[in-house]
Amino acid sequence: MMRPRNMVIVVTVLALLGAVVGYLLAGSDPATVRGVVGTEKATFFADPRVREAFEKHGLRLEIEARGSREMATADALAGHDFGFPASAQAAGPVARARPASGTYEPFGSPLAVATFTSIVDLLAQEGAARRGGAGHWVLDLAAYLDLAGRDLRWDQIAGNVAYPARRDVLVTTTHPSYSGSAAGYAWLAATHLGPDGLDRVAKLFTDQGGLERSTGDPFERYLTQGLNFAPLVLAYEAQYIGAAAAGTLPDGATLMYLSPTLLSTHTVVAFTERGDEVGELLTTDPTLRSLAAEHGYRTGTAADFATVLDRLAGAGTSLPAQLPEAAPPPDPVAFEAMLTALDQRLRQ
Of 206 and 284, the one with the shorter C-beta distance to other proteins is 206
Nearer to other proteins, 32 or 334 (CB): 32
79: left (phi over 0), alpha (psi -120 to 50) or beta: left
Instruction: Find out whether 205 and 346 touch, Cβ atoms under 8 Å.
Output: yes
Which residue, 2 or 306, is less far from other proteins as judged by CB?
2
Instruction: With CB under 8 A as the rule, give the number of residues binding other proteins.
Output: 60
Tell me the window of 86-94, 147-155, 253-261, 278-286 that interacts with other proteins (CB under 8 A): 147-155
Applying CB under 8 A, which of residues 31, 49, 62, 150 lies at the interface with other proteins? 62
- How far separated are the first and last CA of the chain, in Å rounded? 54
Calculate ∠ Cα 218-270-42, nearest 5°: 25
Distance CA 145, CA 148 (A): 5
**Interface with other proteins (CB under 8 A), residue from 55, 57, 60, 64:** 64
160 or 299, CB closer to other proteins?
160
Position among 117, 125, 225, 344 found at the interface with other proteins (CB under 8 A): 225
Among 149, 209, 286, 332, binds other proteins (CB under 8 A): 209
Question: Is the link from the previous residue into 260 a cis peptide, with omega within 30 of 0?
Answer: yes
Residues 6+ apart with CB under 8 A from 176: 69, 182, 183, 185, 186, 205, 339, 342, 343, 346
Q: What is the DSSP string of 60-77?
A: EEEEEE--TTTT-SHHHH
Residue 195 engages other proteins in binding (rule: CB under 8 A)? no
Contact region with other proteins (CB under 8 A), list: 61-69, 101-109, 180-188, 278-286? 61-69
Give the span between the Cα atoms of 217 and 224, in whole angstroms.
Answer: 11
Name residue 110's beta-bridge partners. 263
Q: Is 223 in the site for other proteins (CB under 8 A)?
A: yes
Query: Residue 226 contacts by C-beta under 8 Å, 6 or more apart in sequence?
Result: 116, 250, 251, 253
| Binding status of residue 21 toward other proteins by CB under 8 A | yes
Distance CA 106, CA 8 (A): 40
Q: Which amino acid is at 225?
A: Q
Q: CA 261 to CA 126: how far, in whole Å?
A: 20
Nearest to 107 by CA among 323, 268, 312, 306: 268
Residues 228-247 that bind other proteins (CB under 8 A): 228-230, 243, 246
Q: Whose Cβ is closer to other proteins: residue 12's or residue 331's?
A: 12
Residue window 259-298: x/- pattern of binding to other proteins, with contact defined by CB under 8 A: ----------------------------------------
Shortest approach of other proteins to residue 71 CB, angstroms?
Answer: 9
Q: Is 11 in the site for other proteins (CB under 8 A)?
A: yes
Check binding of 3 to other proteins (CB under 8 A). Answer: no
Q: How far is the CB of 165 from other proteins (least distance, A)?
A: 4
Q: Sign of the C-alpha dihedral, residues 43, 45, 50, 51?
A: negative
- Min separation Cβ 166 and other proteins, Å: 5
What is the smallest separation between the CB atom of 104 and other proteins, expressed in angstroms?
23
Give SS3 for 259: strand
Number of residues that make up the chain: 348
* 323 lies in the binding site for other proteins (CB under 8 A): no
The single residue among 40, 140, 220, 277 that binds other proteins, judged by CB under 8 A, is 220
DSSP 8-state code for residue 39: G
Give the footprint of other proteins on this chain (CB under 8 A).
1-2, 4, 7-8, 10-11, 13-15, 17-21, 24-25, 27, 48, 62, 64-66, 73, 75-76, 79, 151, 153-155, 163, 165-168, 205-211, 213, 217, 220-221, 223-225, 227-230, 243, 246, 248, 346-348
